[in-house]
Amino acid sequence: MTVHGFFVYGVLKGKLKIYEAAEGIDGQQYSTEIGLIDIFAMEQASNSFVVIELKKGRPSDQVVGQILRYMGWVKQNLCTDGQAVKGLVICRDPVPKLSYALTMVNNIDVHYYSVSFTLRNMP
């Protein structure tokens, strides 16, 4: 299973539902005129759109501009009256520049992941 698949089917299960457009296009690698949203979902409890960016390792604070751009597109093209758009950055390691940038934005969260595995000889 890919890291992308792990998040889609593991971490997000139950809280978010992958967005599906009327045309049957789903929210994994959701194509927009301004780029690909890694995962585009709906938060079932609040009926809010959620834009998720998956980053390997240590992300740059530039991800804030990227996710805000996608969130703005969703707001202008898909939201109905009063519907919210949230952002979620999922990355491996904390980065001070990213943390400082996110203190000024109240609708983007960051979650950190860790991956470990063990290699064993066959018996």
- Domain assignment present for residue 15? The answer is yes
| pLDDT confidence bin for 81, thresholds 50/70/90 | confident
Question: What's the domain range around 41?
Answer: 3-106
**Per-residue pLDDT tens over the stretch 9-53:** 555 667 888 888 777 777 888 889 999 999 999 988 899 999 999
CATH code: domain of residue 89: 3.40.1350.10
CA 77 from centre of chain: 18
| pLDDT confidence bin for 1, thresholds 50/70/90 | very low
| Section 72-94 average pLDDT | 93
- Domain assignment present for residue 60? The answer is yes
| Section 64-85 average pLDDT | 95
**DSSP letter at 11?**
I
How many domains does the chain contain in total?
1
- Domain assignment present for residue 113? The answer is no
- Of 111, 115, 114, the residue nearest 39 (C-alpha): 111
| pLDDT confidence bin for 106, thresholds 50/70/90 | very high
Structure tokens at 111: 């979650």
pTM for the model stands at 0.83
Which is it for strands 28-32 and 16-18: parallel, antiparallel or unpaired?
unpaired
Contact 37, 27 (CB under 8 A): yes
- Domain assignment present for residue 85? The answer is yes
- Domain assignment present for residue 13? The answer is yes
Percentage of residues of the chain with pLDDT beyond 70? 89
Task: State the Cα–Cα distance between residues 20 and 30, nearest whole angstrom.
Answer: 10
Which is it for strands 35-43 and 48-54: parallel, antiparallel or unpaired?
antiparallel
- Domain assignment present for residue 119? The answer is no
Q: Which residues contact 45 (CB under 8 A, 6 or more apart)?
A: 15
**In the predicted model, is pLDDT for residue 56 greater than 70?**
yes
